[in-house]
Structures are given as C-alpha cells and as structure tokens.
Structure 1
Amino acid sequence: MPGLVGFISEHTHDNQLLDGMVNSLKHEDWYRIDKHVSPPFSVARVHLGTFNPQPQPIFNEDRTLCLFMEGKIHGYDEEKRRLEGRHHFAFHNDPEFCLHLYEELGVSFLERLNGAFVLLICDLKQRKVILANDRYGLIRAYYAVNKDALLFAPEAKAILQDATFKKELNPEALVSYFAFGEFWADRTLFKGVHILPPASVLTYGNGELSVSQYWRFSYQPDYSLPERAMVEQLAEAFRRAVAVRMRDPLRYGVSLSGGLDCRSVLAAVEPEKRREIATYSYGPSYCDQVAIAKRVADKCGTRHRFMELKPEIIVENAERLVWLTDGRNHIEGSFLNPVHRQARTEVDVVFDGFVLDRTLGGSHLSKDLIHPGSKEELLSSVLRSMRLFSDDGLMRLFRPEYHGLVKEVPSSVLRAEFDKLSYADPSTAFDEFYVTTYVGYASSWHVPLRDVVEVSFPTVDNDLFDAIFKIPPEKRLNHLIHRQVIMSLSPELAGITYNKTALPASAPLVLWRYGKAYRRGRQMLKDLVWRTSRGRVYILNRTDYVDHAGWLRANDSWRRYFRTLLLSSDSRSREYLDQSYVGYLIAEHEAGRINASYRLMRIVTLEIFLRQFLT
C-alpha cells in the first residue's frame, strides 16, 4: 500500500533491506517508487502517482533538509505566497510547501496543515528524522526500534523484512482487541511494532526516540449560538471543504449507500459540478440501500455504477484483507478492495464521509452519556457497555494461561485513555474519549481503498471540525443539527429516504424514532422466523448492504469457512482461545439464539493473521 517506508541507522546500511521493505508494499506493478539512500537515511515513497506525483525527496536550498510526503494538503495559498518571498519553489507542490514552512516555524508548522498526510523530514546536519502525521491519523505509519535502527512503513509487514526483528504476538493488544473490538493508541498485534497515533510527531536521532502529540480533540460547545447560525456555519464550512478538495484536474467519485455521510458530501458539492462526479454503490441487488443510492445519484445527475455483492465475496477476499491490514481490520470489510478495483476504472480520488455520523450526527451519544456524573462513573459505564466481549465472555474465550491478562487489561487500557481527558466539561467527556479512540482506529478501514485509489476526507476538514466542536452535544444527538445541515445544503437530497429510519432526512425527528423502531422490529421478526423454523426459513435482509449475521447462518460457504478455520485440529488460534467456546458461539449463532457474527469475524481474523504472519 502507498506510504513512506525505510529505516534510519548509523550502523546498518543495507540496500537489500530497503528493497525488501519496498517490495513487500508494491502490491501493483503500476505503483511508483521514489528512493533516497544517504546513510544514516534509507527512505522510499511508494505511491499511486495521483497526489504530488513529482519525484521525492524535496530538498531545501542549501540541501541540509529533505522531505518525503504521502497524502494531500489543502488551502494554503496565502501562506505559500508569504513563503515565496523568502524561499525558492521548484515544484509548487505540497511537500515543498511543508518543507519551507518547517524551516520557518519548526514542528509547530504541523498545526497549520489541513489534510491527510504522513511526512518524514531528514535533518542531514543533525542526522535525525521527524516522522509526523495529520490530526486524525488518516494515513498509517507503523514504526519499531530494532537495535539502533528506526524502521517505519505503512504496513507492518515491511518492518518484518528485517530478519533480525523478532516476530511475536502482543498478548495485551490481543486481549484489548477482543474486549473493545478496536485497537487504541499505538497498539498493534505485533510486539514491538507501534502505529503512530493521530496528530503525532516522532523524532529519532542518535538512538533516541520521542513521540509527542501536537493537537487533540477539544470540544468547546457554544450554547449562545442559535441553531440557524450553527447550520449556516456548518453548511458553509462543508461547501468550502469539498470545493478546496476538487481543485486538481482529477476524476472524483463518491460511494453512495442509504446513509447520510457520503450523501452529505455530495450535497456540499456545487450543483453544477455534481455531474462531474462518478458515484457508485454496492450490495445485494435486492437491498434497500442500493435503491436509495440510485435515487440520490439520479437526483444529482451523476454517472452511477452498481456493483453487486454476493456472500461469497467476503470469504473469498478475507485473507487478502487481513494481509493488507496486518490483522488490524476484521474480515467484515473484505469486499472493499475488490469493489474499489472496479471503481478505479472511473475514479482517481474517492470522497469519503468519514465519521460524520459520529462527529456531527452524534450516533454514539445518548442522554446518559451527555450527563455522565463523575469521571469514575463514566469510566465504569463505558467498561460495562462498550464491549465486544464482556468480562465473563473474555474469560470463556481465552485459555486459562491468559486469564491474568483478561482480568487486568480491559480496565487498564480504558483508564489509560480516560487519563488523557481533561474532563473540564463532563457533557463532552465521552465525545472526546470516543472520537479520539474511534477515529484513531476507524481510519484503518481506508487501507483496502488506498491500495488502488486515493481517498479524500472533507468531513474532517479543519475549519469544518472547528465548527462542529462548537455544537453542544444535545444538538448533535439523534442527528438533530446534521439533518438541518443536509436540508440547507440540498433540500432535494434531504427528501430521499434514510435507510436507518425508512424516512427522509427531512422528516420530523419524532417520526425518525418510529422508523428506527420499525427497522429493529423487522430484524427481530427475521431472527424469530429463523429460530422457530429451525433454520429452514431465511428472510432476506433488505436493509443492509451486507448481512453478516444472516450469511453466517444460511450461506453454506460462510458456515463451512468459519467451521473449517476455527474448529479444525490445525487451527492456530487454539493456542490462545478455548476452541470449545468458539464452537459454542458458532452453534448458538447458527441456531439464531444469539448474534455472534462480529465476534466470530474477529476470531477468524486472528486465525488468518496467525497463519499469515506468525507461522
């Protein structure tokens, strides 16, 4: 996958190691490679040739600094004009701007950057490097220190090309993953391999490593701001965020579903420019979301393409997904890479509605979480409720030799995240915790996309986020303000059905509650029919574009795949997990007595990971 890769070492000068690291990332023959080897620096950029295609690194005038960058920066025209009075610009691109801004401001220049990026600055005089990423960690960077060398890459497998690096599973990260369903902070499944957290600056030189954070999520709700002013500010910021990302002469696309996130992005595009965008949707042909996406596309006049998903696409591509993401993503999203391989024929850059349903839609919030009481009360509530496996479930899942970790890790990991909170305003404390942890993990879902296309993120534009941070949590709850923003941007798109309510986004909020209850009732009826018919009657799930729970019950390829991987005598996960409990989860799920699909998909992901990386 595209990104920055290499190592910094005063004693290791191994061109074969750099070549091996690069080759492990070159998943396509058409990838482009830029290299720079000048001990102690051995660095390469693997890229698609779309954003900033000019050769790298970029040097400053006296060649004491050079910079590699992967990603895209937006909206710096005025700042660049100021720099042009004191610096020479040969390429007029993002990395050149970043290098000269660093010369002026030092590492504080990162606070001014608006976009998705990872960059590496080599100080040739001081023989040190600075590795940094954007506010949200949208482009991954793994790193490890082995002996005197700093190794870094967009995929952990590149670091494993160092034959002297010991490959071991990180049991603490494994327990934490099964407790909460996500990887938080810098944790990975590899012991000694870390992922650079969002908004981080890593400095390495003379064998010394430091990692600091230059920005944090900070909600500052403005209760004096009228709703109409909130909506106007958000709508205008959204329009600017999309417009600034459409300046380059590239082919832009939007993935549509029945949801509101990407529809909001399309609504923020100037009406006369919508026809320039290619839209696409995916799912079973009978899925409601496919029909909704087609209505949105027709209303906007976009070139629209439908790609049918069948159950087999998940299991057929599961191993590639785990390999691409180094086990960080579970197999739920294994259709994303083949889908975007098809989209690539029409699209260079995909606009993503990343986390808008959380940040603006407040889908993670409830009244209890907005009024949580003390910090300890909130921590206890989260420890009980935000779980993939409960404490009892974890004890049953893991073999006895890991029970000590099972008892300690969930609470210690959660407390470490809570200790980072200011708790100055209790009403935004859960927001700060959730967005920090979820955003840091959720960006990994773009890895299967960025393997073949570039991704742009207008929903986390700096100015848009600044406007969102002013919205009181009560106004974001249940998409209260989000709905109004869509109506302001595009009343015609707001009038199209939202799949989670079966009603338009513009429908009264009270009706939304009934719509959600109707959706839940349909799913409960579907499960009841499956149970009472003892697996003879399967009602198609027309609501979602993937039906993990249903396919794991009714699809022979799914059932066979999960049972073969997890219950055979050669299953690698048996070393860590109680196979009889895994068998119990499969049987109870197939019978319709529980929905264990998300838990089982993560267990399958672990099994594949162990076979691919730790054999």
Structure 2
Amino acid sequence: MGGAFWNGLNDPAQGQVAAECAAGEGGRVLCGKGDSVSPLWDMECRGTRRVQTEQRVRGDESAQVLRAPLHGGPDRMPFQAVPGGIGHPARGDGGTCPGAEEKVVFPQVWNGEGVTMPGIVGMISGLPPDRCRRRLSAMIGTMLHEPFYRSGLYANEELGVYAGWVCHEGSFSDCMPVANEERNVFMVVSGENFIDRSELRALKSRGHEFNEEDATALVHLYEEDPGGFFRELNGLLSGVIVDLRENRVTLFNDRFGSHRLYYHENQEGFLFSSEAKSLLRVCPELREIDPVALGEYFSCGCVLENRSLFKNLKILPGGSAWTCLRSGGWERKRYFTPEEWENSEPLEGGEFCRQLKENLTRVIPRYLQGRQPVAVSLTGGLDSRLIMAFVDGKSARLPCFTFGSENRDSLDVSISRQVARACSQEHTVLRLGEEFLSRFPEEALRTVYISEGGLSACGSYELYLNAKAREIAPVRLTGNWGSELLRGARAFKAYLPYMQTFNPDFYKHIEDATGTFARIGRVPNLTFSLFRQAPWQGFGRLAVEQSQLTQRTPYMDKDFAGLVYRARKEDLSSDRVSLQVIGEAKPGLLEIRTDRGAAGKSGPAFSWLHRAFHETAFRMEYYCGHGMPRWLSRWDKALKRLHYERLLMGRYKFHQFRRWFQSELAGYLREMVLDKRTLGRPFLNPKRLEGMVHKHIRGDENYLNELDKILSVELVHRLFVDDFVNLNERARGRFAPR
C-alpha cells in the first residue's frame, strides 16, 4: 500500500515527509510536520483499556485504517494511518521506521456535545486519495457529537474505498473495522446481529478468533460462506465489506431496510451514509426538497418507496447486497424479498401456538445478551408483557421503566409497576412535564436534526425521554411491532390535510400521495408492517431513539417474523394467541389486566365489560385531545368549564400537544409558523395559515396535525436547505449540554 499519511491533506507520493518517529506501545507512530499533538500522547490519554479486539494491520495485506485524534472537532479531523509495508512501516520520504511491524489501531472517542445517530458513511471513487479523505472527513464530521460516541475511518486507496463509522461506546459495533485472520477481508458495520451462542461456539471450534459480545464474528461468517452470509443476517444493521481475495466491495443492509442507508451517485463516485446530512454536506446539489416527497410527508407522515425528502437522494432497498464491479458498475442484488415468507406453509392453530412458545424461549435470550446492561421498556399492553413472560426474574436483573406524565399516572404506569413486581424487577417512571416544555424549542430542533424530518416536532418527547432511559441502561428492549405482527394492528395511514392550508398546485402532490399509499398497501398485513411501515414510517422514531441508546425488539427477529408468516389469519386477528402463550409461560401475568381491559381475574362477562369500557375511554381521550374533530373544537371552551380534562385526559397518553400549543407552547408556535420565512414557502397559503394558527391557539378549531408537520418541514428547510453551511455549528453550539 505504501506510505503513512497524517492530516489527510498531502499524498506522500507528492513529497510529504514524516517529521517525527516516536516510539510507542505496539511500535512506531508517525506525526505530521507542524502538528502539535503527538499520536503517542494521544494514545496515552486514551489508556490501554480495550473495548474492541486488537486490530493489527499489515501494510502488504490490508487497507489503511484511519482514525481521528481526540482533539479538535468534526470539522478538523486529521487522519492517522497505520504504517504500510512489510516488516517495517514506510515513511513518507521512502525510508522506514524500524521495529514496528504492526501497530494497534485505537478508535476515536469524541468528547463534544450535540446529537446525531450511530451509523456509517463512505464513498467509492477514483478521485485522488487526499480528496476522498477530505470528503470522508466532512461526511463523518456531521455525525460525531454525543460524548458516548466512538468513531473511526477506513481506507483502501487501491480499490478506491473510503468508509467511516460512528457507534455507541461499548455497543455491538464498537470494534470496527473487523477482519479475518488472513487480513484479506474487512468489514465496517453499524447496528446489531443476533446469533445463538451455540452457533458462535461452533464457529470458534473451526479455528476462528473473535469476541462473542461484538461484531467480530461477522467477518468469519462471511469468510466461510460469502454467498449465504447475507441470508443469515438477523438484526437491524448495515455495512460494507471489502473482500481483497476478489477485489470486491459489497454494500448491504438488513432484510427490512430499517437500518437506513442513503446513497447518491455523481461524477465523483458512489457515496453512501446512514444519515442524509452527511451526503448533503459534500453534495450541495442535493439540498433541494422534492415536492413529490413533501406531498407524501404531509399525507402519510413519511416519504414512500425508498425515496427521501431530498431530490436525487435515494435509500437502499431492504435486503440489498450491492457489489461494486471491477468495471465500475454495480451488481444490485436483493438477497431477500417478502415473497419468500408469504409463500410459506401455514400452521394449524394449536401447532402455531406451540411453535410460538418454543420460538420465544429461544429468541428472547438473544436480546438480553451483550456487554452492555439491558432495561425493558414496559407498557400496559401485551407486547412487553409477552417478553417478560420469558424472562427468568430470579436469575436475571432486568430493570424496567415506563414513560409517564408529571400530572397523573397513566394506565401504562400503574400496570407496568404490577408487571415488574410480578417478575421481581425494579421499575422506574420517566416523566414528561415542565422541564420538557421549557426545552421544547431545543428538543424539537434536535429531533428534526437527528431524524432529518423523519420524526416531527411533536415527537421530540422521544429524544427527551430516551436520554433519561440511557441513565438506567444503554440498551432498551421494547415490544415494538408486536401488535402489528401478532394482532394485525395497522396504524400507518394516509389522510388529506386541510386543503386550504396549501397552494393548490402543491396540493395535487398530497392527493397523489394517497393514491401511492393505496397502491403500496395492496400486500399482506405482515408485509405491510415489516417492509413498508417499519423502514419508512418507523425510521424517524428509531433514528431518534438510537441516537441516545441501543434499541432492540425481538419481534423483528428473522426467526420470529418467519414463523408468524406461517400463522393463519384468524390466529393474528385478536389477542387470543398472545394471552394463551403468556398464560402458559408465566400464568401470574394474566392476573394483571391490560390497558385495554384484556386478561385479569374476572369472568368472561365482566371481561367483556372491561374491554368495552377501556376501548370507549381510549377513544374519548383521543377525540378530546390529539384527534379532536374541528366541529367539536367549537364546543371545547364550554366543555372545559366541566373540567372534563381531569376526568378523561392522561389515562392513556402522557403528552397533550393540542392543549400545549394553546398554552405553554403557543408563543413558540407563533414565532415559528408566523415567521416571514415560513409564510413565504411556495407550497403554503400564508393567509389561511395565519388564520389556522390563531384559531388553534384560541381553541376554536384543532389543526394540530397540520401545524406539527408545517413546523417540522420549516425546521428541515432551515437546517438542511437555507443555511446548511452553519449546520454543525448549530448542532453543537446552540444545543445546551444535557
């Protein structure tokens, strides 16, 4: 490979000379001329604690593995490369530094402030290496912010591959890059993969060395079976593989596409990233909102069909394994499609229940493994309770928590306490209240920044509460997607917002979006939930959650999902199967009634009454809060004299944005939505919008959905389109430390 680089600015072949050879742990390291910080001192500051397996890189067999030093910031990330050459690493002037055959590579720990989510970035390009390294530095610079993040950089100049990563310290992917024993296969991964311990032991018995708690096993699984590797992936992850045996580079993601990868092709090459903002940073031509995508956002709450809000910025479809060919083209393969599960043989009801119980007995322990503590996010429903039914409370310490309000305990809170107590686990309530409201402008900006508009401003409580959840444990185990898979819930819908809010020409895009949604919805319910809703609508929430902690759900395990596809429709149309499996696994949990009135000790007749009462109460809270019809809003002032909110509100929801936008957050709403920049957006009708804001604040009508989306889209424009040059400054400097 030749040469060692520092600062990523000058190619040694063009005359850069190493000014210093400093003896250090594991060999010699090079420091660029004029650089005041020695890498040896930098390593000493980190100490010798190994979070990952030691990565020893030989210059003749592998690419350069680059890292940024601890000092400076994301916009000033000098590069340090592992010295190349056999025996002794080469110097920039053609000489060598004797006595340093190998060098241990330490990943960076960033100690700054701000927000983003873990992920990968990269480019495949024939441009000069120094230019590619600067591009990569700028891309990863948009992602390096939280104090518990780690990062690193990888480059193979011969293949023109440059990749970087950001991860939570101590997480599954905090070991990048991973390589096989021969150092001819390298992998950079973000996310998690879940493998049974028995499979890992079998892999070790075949002579491979790796840490069972992190991603180091993945490269050996690929090495043994490159063709079948992708189909065996089990988790939400994405990555890039550099196979030097075939001079082949492969970009891949999980079968659902939930661990998102954006990509863009231009004259410079092929660029990819887990975050759009990284590509917007180096490709100014992408900083334009796509009106078709914007219409889908206003109708569906997200962009459909693997497109993004930004023109010409696309998303890798789920189940992809794209290989860069020597000719420079791409072989764009799908290693998995939903039809494989859709065509599986159905199971009889009794057999499905039996296999479901066996499956959960095997699957749930996978999600309790790892080197980081795990906590369970409990609710009053069945999905998190089904998880707890397969947890041994006597031998496993598994703290539990529930999101709640400062004003009153919701049913989620009171029921979750009982479930945790029945499982001999601690329980904590993480409350939303005055502090959140005082921080809302900041939290809304942070939320839209992280999710790039995928989660709206009114979803900012997720950022606030998940930051608190990390104080309990850095891994959050949830029951997400349980209702969709086991009981056919379908909350992802399209609707037509108030027409007169928008410019008539633009409103056609919103109407077209409802037709697109109807077309993509003509698939089985399970396919719709896992391969439409999860990667498109679910992305924003997942991105915000993953920015603060590692989120897991056993219901997207490939073995679990594949089994559920074999259930009969009648087995997935009610909570009968879930209740039966919970009763067989941990009968005591059935004595606790759910927030919708299921289970409990009462007989069938009283059970029906409880269900009817809770279903009615749930709908009344919705229609008196978030979903209040506009005609009912006109009576809201009169109804408030009866103090109906004390009776109805807060039993099921811990946030009340309709009311908050009339009171505590009214000033912020006026400031943002009635600002001349917002009113000047060409897709809006400014006069109607002004009237909507005033009517909502007075309580005359309810425009929460429209105002939430308009506010969020305005933040997207200000962050990523209008003034992108100051994006990193805003993300770090304007956000107060937590």
TM-score using structure 1 length: 0.85
Distance 1:406 1:443, change over 3 A: closer
Kept after mapping to 2: 8 A contact 1:175/1:409: yes
- Give yes or no for the alignment of 1:346 onto 2:462: no
Aligned to 1:67: 187
Query: Which shifted more, 435-444 or 168-177?
Result: 435-444
- Partner secondary structure for residue 253 of structure 1: strand
- Partner secondary structure for residue 672 of structure 2: helix
Aligned to 2:68: none
Which of the numbers 427, 434, 448 marks the counterpart of 1:304? 427
Aligned to 1:146: 266
Whole-angstrom distance in 2 between the partners of 1:69 and 1:602:
33
Which of the numbers 673, 676, 682 marks the counterpart of 1:569? 676
- Partner secondary structure for residue 312 of structure 2: coil
Which of the numbers 519, 526, 537 marks the counterpart of 2:618? 519
Residues 139-168 of structure 1, C-alpha deviations (whole Å, 9 max, x = no match): 232222232322222211111221554411
Distance 1:329 1:209, change over 3 A: farther
- Give yes or no for the alignment of 1:398 onto 2:502: yes
Query: Which shifted more, 155-164 or 493-502?
Result: 493-502
How big is the shift at 1:173?
Answer: 1.0
Whole-angstrom distance in 2 between the partners of 1:357 and 1:398:
35
- Partner secondary structure for residue 323 of structure 2: strand
Whole-angstrom distance in 2 between the partners of 1:207 and 1:164:
24
How big is the shift at 1:22?
Answer: 1.8
Aligned to 2:596: 500
Which of the numbers 493, 498, 508 marks the counterpart of 1:386? 493
Matches within 5 A, 1:535-614: 536-537=640-641, 539-540=645-646, 541-552=649-660, 554=662, 556-571=663-678, 574-583=681-690, 585-586=692-693, 589=696, 595-614=702-721
Kept after mapping to 1: 8 A contact 2:185/2:244: yes
Provide structure 2 residue ranges, at least 5 long, that are not aligned to the other structure.
Answer: 1-116, 723-738
How big is the shift at 1:99?
Answer: 2.3
For 2:337, give the aligned amino acid: R
Distance 1:569 1:323, change over 3 A: same
Distance 1:309 1:275, change over 3 A: same
How big is the shift at 1:345?
Answer: 2.4
Which of the numbers 173, 184, 193 marks the counterpart of 2:293? 173
Provide structure 1 residue ranges, at least 5 long, that are not aligned to the other structure.
Answer: 366-384, 422-428
- Give yes or no for the alignment of 1:432 onto 2:527: yes
Whole-angstrom distance in 2 between the partners of 1:386 and 1:601:
17
Aligned to 1:376: none
Kept after mapping to 1: 8 A contact 2:494/2:514: no
How big is the shift at 1:76?
Answer: 4.5
Which protein is bigger by CA-based radius of gyration?
2
Aligned to 1:455: 551
Whole-angstrom distance in 2 between the partners of 1:214 and 1:350:
29
Aligned to 1:425: none
Distance 1:432 1:244, change over 3 A: closer
Whole-angstrom distance in 1 between the partners of 2:300 and 2:453:
15
Query: Which shifted more, 437-446 or 196-205?
Result: 196-205
How big is the shift at 1:266?
Answer: 2.2
Residues 228-264 of structure 1, C-alpha deviations (whole Å, 9 max, x = no match): x333322231232221222334311012222332232
Percent of aligned pairs with the same residue? 24
For 2:329, give the aligned amino acid: E
Aligned to 1:470: 566
For 1:399, give the aligned amino acid: N
Whole-angstrom distance in 2 between the partners of 1:529 and 1:162:
47
- Partner secondary structure for residue 282 of structure 2: coil
Kept after mapping to 1: 8 A contact 2:454/2:539: no
- Give yes or no for the alignment of 1:277 onto 2:277: no
Whole-angstrom distance in 2 between the partners of 1:132 and 1:248:
23
Kept after mapping to 2: 8 A contact 1:330/1:601: yes
How big is the shift at 1:331?
Answer: 2.1
Aligned to 1:115: 235
Aligned to 1:183: 303
Aligned to 2:587: 491
Matches within 5 A, 1:9-48: 9-13=125-129, 14=131, 15-39=133-157, 40-48=160-168
Which of the numbers 121, 130, 144 marks the counterpart of 1:5? 121
- Give yes or no for the alignment of 1:130 onto 2:250: yes
Query: Which shifted more, 133-142 or 92-101?
Result: 92-101
How big is the shift at 1:61?
Answer: 4.3
Aligned to 2:86: none
Residues 503-550 of structure 1, C-alpha deviations (whole Å, 9 max, x = no match): 749975744244312432455578669825347546141223333454
Whole-angstrom distance in 1 between the partners of 2:623 and 2:661:
15
Kept after mapping to 1: 8 A contact 2:348/2:568: no
- Partner secondary structure for residue 122 of structure 2: strand
Kept after mapping to 2: 8 A contact 1:222/1:472: no
Distance 1:250 1:42, change over 3 A: same
Aligned to 1:325: 451
**Using CA pairs below 8 Å that are at least 6 residues apart, which structure has the higher relative contact order?**
1
Aligned to 1:382: none
How big is the shift at 1:84?
Answer: 4.9
- Give yes or no for the alignment of 1:481 onto 2:577: yes
Distance 1:226 1:502, change over 3 A: closer
Whole-angstrom distance in 2 between the partners of 1:417 and 1:291:
36
Whole-angstrom distance in 2 between the partners of 1:597 and 1:606:
14
How big is the shift at 1:285?
Answer: 3.9
Query: Which shifted more, 344-353 or 97-106?
Result: 97-106
Aligned to 2:220: 100
Q: How many positions carry a matched residue from both structures?
A: 582
Kept after mapping to 1: 8 A contact 2:449/2:719: yes
Distance 1:315 1:200, change over 3 A: same
Which of the numbers 216, 220, 230 marks the counterpart of 2:352? 230
- Give yes or no for the alignment of 1:264 onto 2:359: no
- Partner secondary structure for residue 446 of structure 1: helix
How big is the shift at 1:462?
Answer: 1.9
Distance 1:147 1:356, change over 3 A: same
How big is the shift at 1:213?
Answer: 2.7
Kept after mapping to 1: 8 A contact 2:234/2:557: yes
For 1:567, give the aligned amino acid: L
Query: Which shifted more, 98-107 or 348-357?
Result: 98-107
Residues 10-51 of structure 1, C-alpha deviations (whole Å, 9 max, x = no match): 115332222222221112133211221222111112111223
How big is the shift at 1:589?
Answer: 4.8
For 1:297, give the aligned amino acid: A
- Partner secondary structure for residue 557 of structure 1: coil
Whole-angstrom distance in 2 between the partners of 1:265 and 1:467:
17
For 2:584, give the aligned amino acid: S
Whole-angstrom distance in 1 between the partners of 2:516 and 2:370:
46
For 2:519, give the aligned amino acid: R
How big is the shift at 1:9?
Answer: 0.8
Matches within 5 A, 1:412-431: 412=516, 414-415=518-519, 418=522, 421=523, 429-431=524-526
For 1:204, give the aligned amino acid: C
- Partner secondary structure for residue 131 of structure 1: strand
Query: Which shifted more, 79-88 or 40-49?
Result: 79-88
Kept after mapping to 1: 8 A contact 2:658/2:702: no
For 2:145, give the aligned amino acid: H
Whole-angstrom distance in 1 between the partners of 2:653 and 2:617:
18
- Partner secondary structure for residue 182 of structure 1: coil
- Partner secondary structure for residue 115 of structure 1: coil
Distance 1:494 1:589, change over 3 A: farther
- Partner secondary structure for residue 635 of structure 2: helix
Whole-angstrom distance in 2 between the partners of 1:503 and 1:579:
51
Which structure shows the higher helix fraction? 1
Whole-angstrom distance in 2 between the partners of 1:275 and 1:95:
24
Whole-angstrom distance in 2 between the partners of 1:247 and 1:253:
12
TM-score using structure 2 length: 0.72
Whole-angstrom distance in 1 between the partners of 2:281 and 2:634:
48
For 1:147, give the aligned amino acid: Q
How big is the shift at 1:119?
Answer: 1.7
